[in-house]
């Protein structure tokens, strides 16, 4: 049995990885020095609501928030249990080891307790995934589940592919193997988030699941196309697009919270000793008006952070910060 699942590195994948890497650097600079508690809480609620809604949970975002805040709500008992289980799982996300099959089974046990007969155990029967009136995917024989999952964890822990790709491959291959009686979709999304969080702490602020929910049809289409081609390439491309979109949204949200001084400091860090114009500053902060950008730059000059040369349309600026 091959220990490396099949996929092809495309130009699209390379471009997305480059873009994601750049955005990760930008988010690190903006957030990790002062982690915003409100982002973690907001992200967790959106993540739980989205991942469960994909699987048919009927509770609204407000109802999920109420359950998380330990308030009583009217709703199907199964849906309420799903939220409570998912909350316990995501609250303890840092306690799980992304490299451990044992930890993987423990996570499923928490996610599905009170919902299926054997939470935390691999399925012992054959399953097919039905879409509409057709079986869209026959999962491997139940006798193959354990060896296939061991092989998948071996790939995750021993191959030198970058973690962004490995997390996508794991998500797809786990969905293909369909190791559990129920909860496979939730586990695939959770474990990819865990893999990425372990490598990039900023994923604690990111709700990748909420974007998957927005693109639910594309999500299932990418899984289906990867099934039909026999490799996870299509799914890797889709998930990298989702991650890039989530990072773009996080950056935009963070910029809205930045003060004028923080914007200038962040821009100086980005531009280094290169000269720049107001137009360059606006490219970095497209949500600002021209007058706000001008005020920022005047403040930077007054604070001794930047110097100014030229006049009107020929005006350029440069950081006074020594490299």
SS3 sequence, 108-154?
HHHHCCCCCCCCCCCCCCCCEEEECCEEEEECCCHHHHHHHHHHHHH
Angle CA(252)–CA(45)–CA(24) in degrees, nearest 5?
A: 35
Contact criterion met (CB below 8 Å) for 236 and 7: yes
Predicted confidence (pLDDT) per residue in 122-155, tens digit: 999 887 665 655 555 678 899 999 999 999 999 9
Q: What is the pLDDT of residue 255?
A: 65
pTM: 0.78
Query: What per-residue confidence (pLDDT) applies to 1?
Result: 46
Q: What is the pLDDT of residue 257?
A: 67
Tokens 């699987």 belong to: 55
Note the pLDDT of residue 252. Answer: 77
- Integer-rounded Cα Rg, in Å, for the chain is 23
Mean pLDDT of 247-276: 81
Average pLDDT score over residue span 202-216: 89
Average pLDDT (293-314) is 90
Residue 323's pLDDT is: 52
User: What pLDDT score does 146 carry?
Assistant: 96
Percent of the chain predicted with pLDDT > 70: 91
CB-CB contact of 186 with 86 (8 Å): yes
pLDDT (tens digit, 9 = 90+) per residue, 154-188? 999 999 999 999 999 999 999 999 999 999 999 99
Mean pLDDT across 83-107: 95
Residue 166 has a pLDDT of 97
Q: Which of 35-44, 146-155, 257-266 has the lowest mean pLDDT?
A: 35-44
Domains along the sequence of the chain with CATH: 11-256 (1.10.3290.10), 260-319 (1.10.10.10)
């Amino acid at each position: 049995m091959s220990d490396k699942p099949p996929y092809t590195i495309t130009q699209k994948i390379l471009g997305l990885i480059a873009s994601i890497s750049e955005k990760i650097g930008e988010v690190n600079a903006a957030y990790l020095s002062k982690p915003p508690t409100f982002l973690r809480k907001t992200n967790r609620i959106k993540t739980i609501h989205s991942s469960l809604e994909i699987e048919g949970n009927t509770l609204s975002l407000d109802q999920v928030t109420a359950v998380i805040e330990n308030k009583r709500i009217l709703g199907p008992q199964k849906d309420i249990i799903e939220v409570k289980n998912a909350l316990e799982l995501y609250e303890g996300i840092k306690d799980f080891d992304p490299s451990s099959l044992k930890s993987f089974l423990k996570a499923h046990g928490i996610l599905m307790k009170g919902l299926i007969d054997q939470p935390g155990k691999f399925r012992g029967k054959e399953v097919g995934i039905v879409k509409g009136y057709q079986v869209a995917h026959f999962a491997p024989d139940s006798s193959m589940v354990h060896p296939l999952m061991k092989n998948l964890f071996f790939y995750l822990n021993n191959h030198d592919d970058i973690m962004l790709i490995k997390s996508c491959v794991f998500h797809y291959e786990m969905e293909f193997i369909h190791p559990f009686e129920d909860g496979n979709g939730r586990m695939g999304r959770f474990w990819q988030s865990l893999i990425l969080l372990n490598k990039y702490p900023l994923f604690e602020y990111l709700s990748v699941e909420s974007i998957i929910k927005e693109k639910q049809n594309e999500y299932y289409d990418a899984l289906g196309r990867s099934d039909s081609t026999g490799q996870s390439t299509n799914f890797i491309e889709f998930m990298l697009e989702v991650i890039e979109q989530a990072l773009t949204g996080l950056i935009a949200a963070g910029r809205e919270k930045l003060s004028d001084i923080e914007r200038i400091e962040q821009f100086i860090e980005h531009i280094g000793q290169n000269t720049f114009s107001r137009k360059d500053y606006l490219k970095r902060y497209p949500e600002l008006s021209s007058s706000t950008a001008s005020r920022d730059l005047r403040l930077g000059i007054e604070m001794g952070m930047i110097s100014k040369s030229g006049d009107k349309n020929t005006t350029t600026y440069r950081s006074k910060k020594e490299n």
